[in-house]
A and B are shown apart, each in its own frame.
Chain A
Amino acid sequence: MELVKLKIDNRTVEVEKGTTIYHAAQKLNIEIPTLCYMNLKDLNIEHKPGGCRICVVEVEGRRNLAPSCATECMEGMEVKTHSLRVLNARRTVLELIISDHPFDCLVCAKSGHCDLQDMAVKLGVRDLPFQGEKSTYKPDFSPAIIRDVDKCIMCRRCETMCNDFQTVGVLSGIHRGFEAVVAPAFERDLDHSECTYCGQCVAVCPTAALTEVDHTKNVIAALSDPRKTVVVQTAPAVRAALGEEFGMEPGTLVTGKMVSALRQLGFDFVFDTDFAADLTIMEEGTEMLDRISRHLNGDKDVKLPILTSCCPGWVNFFEYYYPDMLDIPSTARSPQQMFGAIAKTYFAEKQKIDRKDMVVVSIMPCVAKKYECTREEFAEDNNPDVDFSISTRELAKFIKQANIDFDSLPDEDFDKPMGESTGAAVIFGTTGGVIEAATRTAYELHTGKALPKVDFDALRGFEGIRSASVDFNGTEIKIGIAHGLGNARKLLDDVKAGKADFHAIEIMACPGGCIGGGGQPLHHGDSSVLKARAKAIYEEDKGKTLRKSHENPDIIKLYEEYLGKPGSEKAHKLLHTHYFDKKAKQVLLD
């Protein structure tokens, strides 16, 4: 390995050849500011368009300033990261960016979490020397994501996520010069595009150009309505990230505090989506076993592989891009929707509440869930199974608004009966978790034997596409895993081309699975945050006494009292769904 030695701010540093000035400076704990650079190392995404020009530095002997994110270190280089020339240029460039940005910080959805705002503070912007025309665009309100394009600073991170990582390709740079901006084709609303609402664009947006639809107000309204029974469910990935919004280290588990906060907020029942995740395993696992055994018994009609269907971004994706393969995914609804369906039937009956008087709120790490709960098939007489879905970030804001000191909250437990869950449900929150949970159950149901080791290490990790085989009593079950829709596309194309023969595939739309969801606290491009969250999830699983979904006593009870057995007619009506060819639907819309 070739090394080069250089001086940054008069301090010597030695780095591998090819290292950028930006990274060399980091070695010296010099954090050069930037607005567009993004490095998700573990996901192989390095976005360095060199567009914002905030990270410029002075390099001795160079005519102009160098963008540190893209300039490689050279032997003997002398770099200044805070000379007068650099500071003046950096602040002027920022003033320029701000001059084409609305000045509505006080009422902005991103206020306090905005990279641009932070940068203005950091660089000491104190006046607005450039007044002039501002570019204005039509705002776009979709069921899940709001695009306020006036706030776009052309960092192009969303474009990278949407195109390179997700291969959805809904967002592209359009127009040029002062009018240049990122938008869907023909500047139509996302609603009229192939957007999967994965929310990865929202997750990386430095400003409020892309934000999630805020349902907190609706939730507050429901909570203050005495006629309503408000039930809340919290997804597994939320507890591993919520703490970050209150200054805790990434990977801090806050399950107990979260439950207690939700109670203080006034929810009548604080339940766990994990309960529904166990239920999902029962249904999906049964379907998987059924399809696999039929296949092994020589049934030619059975379609394999079976694909997981709990990720709404992923469901949208295959509805748009693989309409010819709609019969492959499991018909099992996602845990959010299973929860809603059971809450407004089984639980409502138990409580003797009319479903119209019950409001089901979900706390999700996800943006697509907001869309999912509005799907027509998940409603009964126009009354949705899940009324509102709010993100981890929205919950954090809500807690702060309610003057709750999160840190000092006691740990509390979920309510019964829909608060009980196993370790298998918890790991739904990270890539590989759903299929591991399904395998745990399927193995025991299939073989009739107890698992010798509950942890399937082969299914874990951060590789975009992974595969493993599990020995089911002499039968080799081949499993594929992908996270990120780009990886999903690769895997699916291989399946389509007959190049891959998996029995089952788990797909999550977001990097790392739900822990990296579009509704999670912003990781600002730091993938170590995602890793810490995953670790926390596996820890929670390990700490649970029950770690297989079919061992969940309340699930067993639910089947005994209400559903019969997995795959029953009632289970089908409440817990399964069907898919649509959205490409065809979209053409009709146009």
Chain B
Amino acid sequence: MAKYKMHMLVCGGTGCRASASDMLYENLKKEVQDNNLEDDVQVVTTGCFGFCEKGPIVKVIPDNTFYVSVEPDDAKDIVAEHAIKGRSVKRLLYTDPAKKEQIPDSKHMGFYKKQIRIALRNCGLIDPENIEEYLAADGYEALGKVLAEMKPEEAIQEVIDSGLRGRGGGGFPTGIKWQIASKVDGAQKYVVCNADEGDPGAFMDRSILEGDPHSVLESMAINGYCIGATKGLIYIRAEYPLAIKRLKIAIKQAREFGLLGKDILGSGFDFDVEIRYGAGAFVCGEETALIHSMEGDRGEPTFKPPFPAQSGYLGMPTNVNNVESYANIPVIFNKGAKWFASIGTEKSKGTKVFALAGKINNVGLIEVPMGITLREVIYEIGGGIKDGKKFKAVQTGGPSGGCLTEKHLDTPIDFDNLIAAGSMMGSGGMIVMDEDDCMVSVAKFYLDFTVEESCGKCSPCRVGNKRLYEQLELITQGKAKKEDLDKLRNLSNVIRDTSLCGLGQTSPNPVLSTMDNFHEEYLAHVTDKQCPSGVCKDLIRYEVIAENCVGCTACARNCPVNCISGERKQVHEIDQALCIKCGACLEKCKFNAIAVI
């Protein structure tokens, strides 16, 4: 039986495969075989290394040598030099662009720093249902330290110094928020964790609660100590049963260990946490709406001021922070504000978790330092666009955000830059779109969401967003005129200008940012009555390309409305009057004989 001494990992990600990594793989195998090394060296393909720019990648273990831009012909050298002689192939090593030196060990390579897991530090590392594992991972040490060694105002100062800003979307400095709440008097103060993650396409809060629930509890206790609150409430979506289950286990365990409850760690400080359930209302992510919901009412926002810090839950001073913000807190105390502030950009410190999704190869949850560029995220972590299509846009900030385009690819991502670019950080959804996505339809998709999720309290949001949606629908149906675009813009501006809460104030963003960045596409819909991406059903038709059609009948068999006719081995035809434009024929045709026109 073979006992391998060496493994050669060849990246099999889409990007690398496009640059012939499969051939490289074959060559390596052949070289290994030719040198009779089959029992010592194993060659395998791997998932994407997320370094597609320098692909194809080969990594050799156990010494972790990292080769970049490897051509199929390099297989010979790698086997001859590395496998046989045991020395690395220098010319294939990665050269650090800053230091201009070659780096042999992947662990010292720059691109590994693309992701730093702070908020997600324990996700995928510890058993979330076992408090002992959290304790072994420095758990509750920050709380212990704060309670034993720091005055509330010192602890608040530490959070201020860290530069941490609210990860729920707004980006308000967390420490300042605590400071305000600490200064308001109240018979009973509350600490609330906003776990009502509602952005379609964002799930970092859920992952943290499922993977590391204690970090949230620990931070809430620290928060409570800082502002003088003894009660904590977690407002969580009822749609997250696993997160709820793990939170409940965590609360129980923390109580058993004396880390919640009376006289925590002998400090005399009492703090306990209760869970309140959301029930499916996006607007409840807004602080005041969330508080009304926790009070058993309709989650309608109210005008601020008064802010929750002045009059929140049951009229008492209340501090609300989001899950990811809380997940950062223990690290700030364990490693120091200075360390935390060393990561990120001048005004946005630390990292941000993004749920990378859409037309991208490596869909996943990533945590990157603030200031990273979209290009790095998409091409170095995300493994590039799916199916080798062309990148078109990235949507951040969910229904409150906007689209970023090619021109923004090298803009450092932080709170302020995203707003300047017409989008926002939001809670961290990052949806990648390619050439097949119609931006008018994307804006319509978000408006559909807003219309459904508007609470209906204020007129511009209640009626305005509906009208905005209807206008967009007319555009996608080819029924709008060019002047309607001005109307659309004015309406967007007014909704933004006059709505009561953040939901309405940001709901036109998807429209405005797509209008700004993809004006041509809007024009094509209203003047030429065309949808360049071939998405808008009323503006496209499917046709058979006669010269490609072999008459296999696949399209006709799969057409749900039987509108395709044609004899076997004869060119088929689509009856446009009956066609519902579902696209099934296009999907089924193996001969590129169906075209969208």
* A→B interface (CB under 8 Å): 48-54, 56, 64-65, 67, 70-72, 85, 88-89, 92-93, 96-97, 99-100, 129-130, 132-133, 153-154, 173, 175-180
Contact = CB atoms under 8 A, between A and B. Distances in A.
A48 B462 CA distance: 17
Classify the interface of chain A: helix, strand, loop or mixed: loop
Interface in B433-484: 451-460, 462-467, 470
6 contacts: A56-B497, A92-B491, A132-B467, A173-B298, A176-B298, A179-B456
Given A88-B494, A130-B467, A177-B453, A97 B500 contact: no
Q: Lowest 5 A-B CB distances belong to which pairs?
A: A180-B456, A177-B454, A96-B463, A70-B303, A132-B470
A52 B456 contact: no
A101 to B, nearest CB: 9
A180 B498 contact: no
B458 A53 contact: yes
A132 B499 contact: no
Nearest to A70: B303
Given A67-B500, A173-B298, A154 B487 contact: no
B300 interface: yes
Contacts of A85: 497
Contacts of B467: 96, 99, 130, 132
Given A99-B467, A177-B451, A179-B456, A64 B497 contact: yes
A95 to B, nearest CB: 9
B322 interface: no
B102 interface: no
B595 to A, nearest CB: 34
Interface in B294-347: 298, 300, 302-303, 305
B463 to A, nearest CB: 4
Contacts of A52: 458-459
Contact of B463 (A50, A64, A99, A173): A99
A96 B281 CA distance: 24
A65 B499 CA distance: 9
Given A50-B302, A64-B505, A154-B456, A177 B462 contact: yes
A70 B305 CA distance: 9
B459 A180 contact: no
Interface residues of B, number: 33
Given A92-B491, A96-B464, A132-B466, A175 B498 contact: no
B496 to A, nearest CB: 7
Interface of B: 281, 298, 300, 302-303, 305, 451-460, 462-467, 470, 487, 490-491, 494, 496-500, 505
Contacts of A96: 459-460, 463-464, 467
Contacts of A129: 487
Given A72-B305, A154-B457, A180 B462 contact: yes
B463 A100 contact: yes
A65 B500 contact: no
A63 to B, nearest CB: 9
Classify the interface of chain B: helix, strand, loop or mixed: helix
A171 to B, nearest CB: 13
A179 B500 CA distance: 18
Nearest to B496: A64
Most buried by B among A70, A88, A132: A132
Given A132-B467, A154-B462, A67 B491 contact: no
Given A56-B498, A64-B496, A177-B452, A51 B457 contact: yes
A93 B460 contact: yes
Nearest to B499: A53
Contacts of B465: 177-178
Contact of B498 (A48, A49, A53, A153): A53
Given A173-B300, A178-B454, A97 B496 contact: no
A89 B300 contact: no
A93 B493 CA distance: 11
A50 B494 contact: no
Contacts of B470: 132-133
B471 to A, nearest CB: 8
B497 A180 contact: no
Contacts of B452: 177
Contacts of A92: 460, 490-491, 494
A170 B434 CA distance: 52
B180 to A, nearest CB: 17
Contacts of B453: 176-177
Nearest to B464: A96
B460 A53 contact: yes
Given A97-B463, A132-B470, A178 B451 contact: yes
B303 A180 contact: no
Nearest to A101: B463
A413 B456 CA distance: 53
Contacts of B466: 100, 132-133, 177-178
Contacts of A132: 466-467, 470
A53 B505 CA distance: 12
Contacts of A54: 459
Given A96-B464, A96-B467, A89 B498 contact: yes
Contacts of B491: 92, 130
Nearest to A67: B303
Most buried by A among B454, B463, B470, B497: B463
Contacts of A67: 303, 500
Given A88-B490, A130-B467, A93 B459 contact: yes
Contacts of A64: 496-499, 505
Given A49-B457, A179-B456, A65 B497 contact: yes
Given A52-B459, A99-B463, 4 more contacts: A49-B457, A72-B305, A173-B298, A180-B462
A307 to B, nearest CB: 33
A319 to B, nearest CB: 28
A160 to B, nearest CB: 13
Contacts of A71: 303
Contacts of A88: 490, 494
Nearest to B500: A50
Contact of A154 (B459, B490, B496, B499): B459
A536 B500 CA distance: 42
A153 B505 CA distance: 20
B305 A65 contact: no
A65 B281 CA distance: 26
A50 B491 CA distance: 20
Contact of B456 (A56, A89, A93, A176): A176
B279 to A, nearest CB: 12
A178 B456 contact: yes
Most buried by A among B453, B457, B500: B457
A178 B463 CA distance: 6
Contact of B458 (A51, A72, A130, A173): A51
A179 B451 CA distance: 10
B305 A177 contact: no
A518 to B, nearest CB: 25
A4 to B, nearest CB: 14
A471 B113 CA distance: 89
B116 to A, nearest CB: 33
Contact of B459 (A48, A53, A72, A179): A53
B454 A176 contact: yes
Nearest to B487: A129
B497 A89 contact: yes
B458 A50 contact: yes
B459 A97 contact: yes
Most buried by A among B305, B460, B465: B460
Contact of B455 (A70, A93, A99, A176): A176
A173 B299 CA distance: 11
A53 B463 CA distance: 12
Contacts of B300: 173
Contacts of A130: 463, 467, 491
Contacts of B505: 64
B495 to A, nearest CB: 9
Contacts of A133: 466, 470
